């Protein structure tokens, strides 16, 4: 089994950081684009896709800036993070995704994020 490596993707998003933050941090916001169902209890998010359940612990949060989760069933060093990046000159907003994948699953993971962010953009009307 090959080791997972960190990768980062960045997506331009026409939205205010405050609105975008609600979509990456609140269960009802996440449920609109990231998973079919999201429940938050005891610092743990339970995500459901097509009946498959995965739990993640919220390990870091900065209001209107970033959320960082660790899958409970993943390697201890692995996490996924969604960070709102705003250009100081243009005020353009982007969402930077940091995740982990093996060499074999990198393309698939990237495709999944591309698809999720496409949903997010349609929900935001961006």
**CATH code of the domain in which 101 resides:** 3.30.530.20
Mind listing the pLDDT tens digit for each residue in 37-49? 999 998 899 999 9
Q: What is the DSSP letter of 25?
A: H
pTM (predicted TM-score): 0.93
Q: Over the chain, what is the mean pLDDT?
A: 95
Residue 11 is assigned to a structural domain of this protein: yes
pLDDT higher than 70, residue 65: yes
Residue 105 is assigned to a structural domain of this protein: yes
Number of domains in the chain: 1
Residue 59 is assigned to a structural domain of this protein: yes
And the tokens for 22?
Answer: 């609600």
CB 97, CB 80: distance < 8 Å = yes
Q: Domain range spanning residue 53?
A: 5-121
Mind listing the pLDDT tens digit for each residue in 9-20? 999 999 999 999
Residue 126 is assigned to a structural domain of this protein: no
* 64 backbone φψ class: left, alpha, beta (φ>0; ψ -120 to 50): left
């Amino acid at each position: 089994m090959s080791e997972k490596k960190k990768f980062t993707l960045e997506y331009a998003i026409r939205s205010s950081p405050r609105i975008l933050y609600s979509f990456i941090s609140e269960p009802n916001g996440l449920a609109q684009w990231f998973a079919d169902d999201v429940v938050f209890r005891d610092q743990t998010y339970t995500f459901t896709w097509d009946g498959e359940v995965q739990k993640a612990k919220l390990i870091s949060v900065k209001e209107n800036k970033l959320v960082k989760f660790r899958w409970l069933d993943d390697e201890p060093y692995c996490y996924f993070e969604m960070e709102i990046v705003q250009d100081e000159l243009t005020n353009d907003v982007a969402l930077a995704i940091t995740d982990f994948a093996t060499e074999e699953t990198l393309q698939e993971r990237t495709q999944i994020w591309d698809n999720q962010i496409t949903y997010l953009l349609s929900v935001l009307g961006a």
